[in-house]
Amino acid sequence: MSYSNLIKKNVASAFKNIGDLGLDMAFNQSVVTGFDFGSNAPVKTSTTKTIKGIVIKTEKLTSVSGGNTITSTIIINSEEIDDISLYDTLTINSVVWNIISPITDNGYTIKLTATREV
């Protein structure tokens, strides 16, 4: 067994056994499949994939214009999602977050940033 496979197996085991540290996260993908000329709006289909993830840091930011946002850093198992760039948003505890840069994938875990307005 190669070290790469051993690490992937151990990462999968860790995410399986994280218990209450892990949260169910629904990754949402919207795809425009056409255009409705009657309503002048795009026709979209949505796909959702739910996996366990860990929120490792959350901070509240206040902009100069007075708007408040919350930004979280999240780690997920990279084996669970083929291409993270296909997903626009994620939902945690019924709250929708926007996925933003930076996103890093080391082949074992994906570290991503999500944000929402308060």
Query: Rounded to 5 degrees, what are φ and ψ at 15?
Result: -70, -30
Which three-class secondary structure state does DSSP give residue 22? coil
Predicted local distance difference test score (pLDDT) of residue 67: 77
All domains of the chain, ordered by start, with CATH? 3-117 (2.40.10.370)
One DSSP character per residue, 34-96 reads EEETTTTEEEEEEEEEEEEEEEEEEEEEE-TTS-EEEEEEEEEETTT-S-GGG--EEEETTEE
Predicted local distance difference test score (pLDDT) of residue 54: 96
pTM assigned to the model: 0.83
Residues in the chain: 118
One DSSP character per residue, 23-51 reads EEEEEEEEEEEEEETTTTEEEEEEEEEEE
Ordered mean pLDDT values, 10 residues apiece, the chain (118 residues):
89 91 94 91 91 94 80 95 91 96 94 93
Predicted local distance difference test score (pLDDT) of residue 1: 64
Which three-class secondary structure state does DSSP give residue 107? coil
